[in-house]
Amino acid sequence: MSSLNNALVGAVVSTLLTLSVLLSAGHALAFDRVENRLVQQLRVDDIASVMNHGPRLIIMWSLDCPACFEELDTIAKLLAKQPNLAISLVSTDDDPTRHEEINEVYNDPAFSSIPRWVYAPNQAKQLQHAIDSTWQGELPRSYYVDEKGKRHGHSGLLNEKQLKMIISLIE
């Protein structure tokens, strides 16, 4: 009886592990489908192509940062008037369970014309360091990428006046 129980438990665990692997793969596929439409994952190897070409304004933000949403609201307002501004958004939330929530933010029609990125899973510190080893992770963080591809960083909320000034550099 004991061995039968063990065998049953073993079978259940084995099935569970198999299903877990499949489930995990299924999640990846599901996220890929969403990402293809809305948001791409930023990996360390992508940084040069995403962040080294200017003039461009890159806004780093997170779901945990109230000031970031103030800045995103202002950017949405500016994009509504000028949809083709050279602005990119990068979410620093590297927890894949939050990607759906990020997609909801990125679903704002105002952002439909600009590149939108999210940190690849479990890569927050690696990406932060690779983007800017002098940046300590505070948000919002903005980079003005000049015509030579040099990034100029700023920490803290940019108000509408400041954003318009930067936009005058990237138009």
Partner 1 sequence: MTQLMKNICFALCMCLLAQAPTALASDHSKHKASSQMPSSACTAGMMACAKTISSVVDKHGRIWSTWSHRQHLYLNYSDDVGQSYSTPMRVNQVAEKISTRGENRPKIGADEHGNIYLSWVTPLSKRFTANVRFSYFSISKKQFSVPVTINNDNLLTGHSFNEMVVTQAGDVYIAWLDGRAKVAAAKQGIRLRSSEIYLAHANFEQGKNVFDNNYLAKGTCVCCRLAMGLDNRELPMLMWRHVFGDNYRDHGFLTMKNQAQANPMQRVSFENWQVNGCPHQGPSIVKGGDDRVHMSWFNNADDASGLFYGYSDDNGRSMSNTYHFATKANNPEHPFLSRGAASAQSGGMIQLVWREYNGKAFVIKYLKSIRGDNWESERVVATAQQGVDYPYILQHPSGSYLHWHVVGEPLALIKL
Between 116 and 141, CB nearer to partner 1: 141
Part of the chain binding partner 1 (CB under 8 A), chosen from 14-22, 47-55, 73-81, 112-120? 14-22
Contact status, residue 160 vs residue 74, Cβ threshold 8 Å: yes
Part of the chain binding partner 1 (CB under 8 A), chosen from 35-43, 77-85, 109-117, 154-162? 154-162
What distance separates the 2 farthest-apart alpha carbons in the chain?
Answer: 78
Part of the chain binding partner 1 (CB under 8 A), chosen from 26-34, 73-81, 83-91, 112-120? 26-34
Between 84 and 134, CB nearer to partner 1: 134
| Site track for partner 1 across 84-123, x = CB under 8 A | -----------x--------------------------xx
Give the pair of three-digit tokens for residue 58: 């890159």
Between 138 and 160, CB nearer to partner 1: 138
Contact status, residue 50 vs residue 42, Cβ threshold 8 Å: yes
Q: How far is the CB of 168 from partner 1 (least distance, A)?
A: 21
Q: Which of 73, 67, 48 is nearest to 145 (CA)?
A: 48
Q: Is residue 146 at the binding interface for partner 1, with CB under 8 A as the rule?
A: no
Residue bearing tokens 């997609």: 103
The one among 147, 156, 164, 165 contacting partner 1 by CB under 8 A: 156
SS3 39: coil
SS3 116: strand
HSE toward the beta carbon, residue 165, CA cutoff 13 A:
5
